[in-house]
C-alpha cells in the first residue's frame, strides 16, 4: 500500500516561489511514476507535472513549463515540485499521485487522472497580487 503526504503549501505573493514535497511510504519512490495535479476554485483537477521510473523523464502542463520543476530524491523517498514565478492563476489545492502499476504509458498518459491509483490529501497554494 502506497501512502502519499504532501506539504509545503502556503500563501505567497505573485512572482514568488514555493517547493511542494510529497513523502512516499510503502514503495521506493523511484519505482513509481509520480504526478502532481491541481484543482483551482470551481475547476476540475488538472495535470501539472509527472516524473517516470528512476526519475528518467519529466512532463509538464504548458501553463507551468519553464516555471515548475518536478524531481525525486531516493534518500528522502520524496518527490518535489519546485514552483517559481508564481501567479494568481496558480492558486489551487495541489495533489500528489502515484501510478504503482507496471503498465506501459502511451504518449500523454501521464495526464490521465484515472491511471494514478494513489493520491495524497492535497496542500493549498494561494498566490496573491
How many CB atoms within 10 Å of residue 55?
Answer: 16
Rounded Cα–Cα distance for residues 63 and 43 (Å): 15
85-104 mean pLDDT: 95
Pick the range with the lowest mean pLDDT from 62-71, 75-84, 98-107: 98-107
CB 97 within 8 A of CB 35: yes
4-12 mean pLDDT: 98
Residue 4 predicted with pLDDT over 90 = yes
Rounded Cα–Cα distance for residues 9 and 107 (Å): 30
CB 94 within 8 A of CB 9: yes
How many CB atoms within 10 Å of residue 124?
Answer: 12
Q: What is the pLDDT of residue 32?
A: 95
Beta bridge partners of 70: 81
Residue 102 predicted with pLDDT over 90 = no
Q: pLDDT band at residue 91, thresholds of 50, 70 and 90?
A: very high
* Residue-wise pLDDT tens digits, 35-56: 999 999 999 999 999 999 999 9
Q: Which three cell numbers stand for residue 93?
A: 489545492
> To the nearest whole percent, how much of the chain has pLDDT over 90?
95
Q: What is the pLDDT of residue 54?
A: 92
Q: What is the pLDDT of residue 65?
A: 98
Amino acid at each position: 500500500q502506497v501512502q502519499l503526504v504532501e506539504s509545503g503549501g502556503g500563501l505567497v505573493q505573485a512572482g514568488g516561489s514555493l517547493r511542494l514535497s510529497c513523502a512516499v511510504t510503502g514503495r521506493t519512490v523511484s519505482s513509481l511514476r509520480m504526478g502532481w495535479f491541481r484543482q483551482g476554485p470551481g475547476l476540475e483537477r488538472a495535470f501539472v507535472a509527472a516524473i517516470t521510473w528512476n526519475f528518467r523523464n519529466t512532463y509538464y502542463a504548458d501553463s507551468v513549463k519553464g516555471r515548475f520543476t518536478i524531481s525525486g530524491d531516493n534518500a528522502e523517498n520524496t518527490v518535489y515540485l519546485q514552483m517559481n514565478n508564481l501567479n494568481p492563476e496558480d492558486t489551487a489545492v495541489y495533489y500528489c499521485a502515484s501510478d504503482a502499476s507496471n503498465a506501459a504509458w502511451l504518449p500523454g498518459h501521464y495526464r490521465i487522472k484515472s491511471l494514478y491509483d494513489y493520491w495524497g490529501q492535497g496542500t493549498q497554494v494561494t498566490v496573491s497580487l
